[in-house]
Structure formats: structure tokens, C-alpha cells
Amino acid sequence: MAKNLRLKAARAAKDMSQKDVAEAVGVTRQTINAIENGDYNPSINLCIAICKVLDKSLDQLFWEDENATG
């Protein structure tokens, strides 16, 4: 699983720490860290909650680009 740099960038753009996002969606900071590092595949409900907090769509944060390399 690839690192989720889009999630990290969206979080930074809103000036939110991993802890801020975690508290807003009801998970631990370690969970947000694991998602960003590609070590954890979140449920669809958690993905939606994160998107709402960061004002992004599922496509913007979690959809894997089939044309991406790496």
C-alpha cells in the first residue's frame, strides 16, 4: 500500500495535526499516522469522516490513480 501523501497535504493545508484529525473523527493519532504511511487501510466510514473534516472528496484523498507509477 502506498503512502497517502494527499491526506498529509490536505491535513497540512488546513493546518491540522494528525492528533487534530484523529480527535475530529474519533480515532487515535497513531491510526492517522498509519493511514498516511500506508500501513493501515481504513474503513469506508473512516475515509468519509476524514474527508468531511478536511473538506475533500473520497476521490481526492483515497482513490488510487491507476496511471500512477510507483
Domain membership of residue 51 (yes or no) is yes
List pLDDT tens digits, range 34-70: 999 999 999 999 999 999 999 999 999 998 765 554 4
Q: Rounded to two decimals, what is the model's pTM?
A: 0.87
Q: What is the total count of domains within the chain?
A: 1
**Contacts of residue 32, Cβ cutoff 8 Å, sequence gap at least 6:** 11, 18, 19, 21, 22, 50
Domain membership of residue 29 (yes or no) is yes
Domain membership of residue 68 (yes or no) is no
**CATH number assigned to the domain comprising residue 12:** 1.10.260.40
Structural domain span for residue 27: 5-60
